[in-house]
Amino acid sequence: MHNLLKISKKEFEFWDYKIDIEKLASFWMAYKIDPSLKSATKSHIFGYANDKYYNKLFKDKELTENDAKEMILAFHLFEIIIEQTGIYGNTIKKGQIISKISQIKEGENKSDDVYKNIKGIINNSLFFSQVVKKETNDKQTFFKEKENILTEVKKYHFFASGKYLTLAIFSLIIKKCDYLKSIIEAGVFDKEDFIKEKIVSPWLKIILDDLIGKEFENFKKEDGLSARTFYARASTWENIKKELEQLKYAKDKEIKEIFELKF
């Protein structure tokens, strides 16, 4: 990054941010240009047409210090989004939430440990409703409401493959609301706690419910194909951008009011 900014390492304030170039290229592609699964892959950025997508991302313009700060903001957004999509992943610590809830039975061996795991996953999510979290906090209530909780959790299964599209929507909102300047001037572009609590947490559920989720339901009615196909098609991003424009009419609020940034 210091090379792109044409300064020495000693002059580069953010030298401690050592990000793998392939990861940087993928999330920056999604954040700036195109979040489709095909476009954000390393082979698309590095492997075709003499690296024209890499050049478009990094070489066609001289990067500024504010560009570097925006990359750091995007990086933190991306890391938080990955953590949240991991709820549906394949690790024992985070994922397999649907199978965990489906298979747990009250009174069985290890059910206490599995319940605590489920409770931790749900309480650490930024998009499950407060009702789901409340009903999961009490073991007796959890087993009583298990099927309703499972139905609610399944609603967001499409999010598992949605990290690039979600990042692109955050980028679009920040741009539309002209928040980037305020974030940089306040010096919070690299403050992960601020980004998580003041940007991702209040906005993510709206993004999933009113933008991605709505478009995914329309997609299933028309095509009935997989979530990965949904995230790979170019029209998904185009439709989401149109839906964001309509959101202010549906909620009768300006975009800045819907996605308010509080310091």
| pTM reported for the whole predicted model | 0.87
Residue 60 predicted with pLDDT over 60: no
Angstrom CA distances, 257 to 60, 133, 175, 254, stand at: 35, 26, 14, 5
Q: Looking at residue 4, what is its pLDDT?
A: 53
- The H-assigned helical ranges of the chain are 21-32, 42-46, 52-54, 65-85, 97-103, 111-123, 130-137, 139-144, 146-154, 163-176, 180-185, 192-194, 201-206, 213-222, 227-232, 234-251, 255-258
Q: Looking at residue 18, what is its pLDDT?
A: 65
Higher pLDDT, 13 or 69: 69
Question: Which 3 state secondary structure label does DSSP give 209?
Answer: helix
How many other CB atoms are there within 10 angstroms of residue 141's CB atom?
13
Give the Cα separation of 25 and 54 in Å (integer): 7
- For the residues of 172-189, what is the DSSP string, one character each? HHHHHTT-HHHHHHTT-T
Question: Which 3 state secondary structure label does DSSP give 7?
Answer: coil
Ranges of each domain in the chain: 17-263
What mean pLDDT comes out for the span 152-171?
A: 95
pLDDT confidence tier of residue 2, bands split at 50, 70 and 90: very low
Higher pLDDT, 51 or 199: 199
Q: Looking at residue 40, what is its pLDDT?
A: 59
Give the Cα separation of 17 and 51 in Å (integer): 24
What mean pLDDT comes out for the span 160-179?
A: 96
pLDDT in tens, 91-126: 545 568 999 999 999 988 888 999 999 999 999 999
- What percentage of the chain exceeds 70 in pLDDT? 81
